[in-house]
Amino acid sequence: MGEVRYIRAITEALREEMSRDERVFVIGEDVGLSGGAFSATRGLLEEFGERRVRDTPISESAIVGLAAGAAAAGLRPVVEIMFMDFMTLCMDQVVNQMAKMRYMFGGQSKVPMVIRTPCGAGLNAGPQHSQCLEALFAHIPGLKVVMPSTPYDVKGLLKSSIRDDNPVIFVENKALHAISGEVPEGEYTIPLGKGEIKRKGKDVTVVATSRMVHQSLVAAERLEEEGIHIEVIDPRTINPLDRGIILTSVEKTSRLVIAHEAVKAFGIGAEISAMVCEEAIDSLDGPIIRVGAPFTPIPFSLESTYLPGVHDIIDAVHRVMEYSWG
């Protein structure tokens, strides 16, 4: 296929999985007639018809609950929640129902479903259309949380998520929808729970998610000019987390920076940091530095001030490099 846009890689994954498995259907607000608010489902209605591409009322709880009930009955729904901020409208269905049904009913039913939802600031969409809320969902046992950064990853991971027998929160980033990248012809999947080294380096490990992977790769180029070689790791799945790839890298570099777009406080950076402290504190030559957004709602007009970026990563890397014990 060559260069493909991130959003079209999503469409392609949906089309392939719908063709492969009759039980897969797409449901959400504006997913049919309009092809989706971000056009992820464009062309699916024409190809698969109204039975499998379901435009719904604006009723997030009903949509997610319907999907969970249908999944328990044997179907494989793919829900679109238009903005990740809207996930708060269906929290009972996600947290108390979908995530727990398998466990509390003693394993009688599996709940194979995906909720695709775009997160992220950068479009001046304001405080209620821009949040990255992955930490909320990573905190809930029973849910998987996936956060792909490239067109290649988004396609392979979405296909795996649809085939997974557990509920998956699939977090796209709106700022990535327009990027292009290499996507091969033909079938491939990427296993959930497997991270990837996006750039090799020996001096500092930078664990970055979603949009921050790209910021880290730009930072890596600039740091290279100073003679600092960072290793950029994209966990790709937040939960289950590929602890091994992070620990192996930290054991090599002895320094760790974690970068995510969500607010820094109480985010997944804290979880990764604590995990590394518990498992590999002897490997560390300095403090673990987190890069994330400030602890404010996302402003409409000060978005560029708010968003963590390349400079923040470079600063963080400098701080760990300059640190020396006592």
Partner 1 sequence: MFTAMMKIRRAEERLMEIFATGVIPGFIHVGIGQEAVAVGVCSALRKDDCIANTHRGHGQAIAKGIDLKGFMAEIYGKRNGVCKGRSGSMHIADKASGILGSNGIVGGGIPLAMGNAFASHYVNDGRVTVCFFGDGASNEGTFHESLNLASLWNLPIIFCCENNEWAQFTPIEKYIKIGNISNRAAAYGMPGISVDGDDVLAVHDAAKRAVTRARKGKGPTLIECKTHRWFGHFAGDKQKYRPPEEIETVRKYDPILRFQTRLVEGNILGQRDIDEIEQRIRREIDEAVTFAEESPSPGPDELFDDVSREEK
Could you give the CA distance from residue 63 to residue 220 in angstroms, rounded to a whole number?
42
Backbone angles phi, psi at 164, to 5 degrees: -70, 145
Cα dihedral 163→7→55→99 (10° resolution): 40
Site for partner 1 contains 106 (CB under 8 A): yes
Interacting positions 16-45 with partner 1 (CB under 8 A): 25
Tell which residue, 46, 256, 19, has the closest CA to residue 159. Answer: 19
Site for partner 1 contains 130 (CB under 8 A): no
Site for partner 1 contains 252 (CB under 8 A): no
Least distance from partner 1 to the Cβ atom of residue 76, Å: 11
Yes or no: say if 91 and 144 are a contact pair by the CB < 8 Å rule.
no
* Closer residue to partner 1 in complex, CB, 163/229: 163
- Site for partner 1 (CB under 8 A): which residue of 7, 13, 82, 101? 101
Interacting positions 157-196 with partner 1 (CB under 8 A): 165-166
Helix (H, G, I), strand (E, B) or coil at 282: helix
Least distance from partner 1 to the Cβ atom of residue 106, Å: 4
Binding footprint of partner 1, residue count (CB under 8 A)? 39
Site for partner 1 contains 123 (CB under 8 A): no
Question: Where do the DSSP E strands lie in the chain?
Answer: 2-5, 24-28, 53-55, 76-80, 114-119, 144-146, 168-173, 180-183, 196-199, 204-208, 230-234, 237-239, 256-263, 289-293
Stretch that binds partner 1, among 6-14, 92-100, 171-179, 220-228 (CB under 8 A): 92-100
Give catalytic status of residue 129 as yes or no. yes
Yes or no: say if 136 and 276 are a contact pair by the CB < 8 Å rule.
no
- Site for partner 1 (CB under 8 A): which residue of 2, 3, 73, 225? 73
List, by residue number, the catalytic residues. Answer: 129
Residues that bind partner 1 (CB under 8 A): 25, 51, 56-57, 59, 61-75, 92-93, 96-97, 101-110, 141-142, 144, 165-166
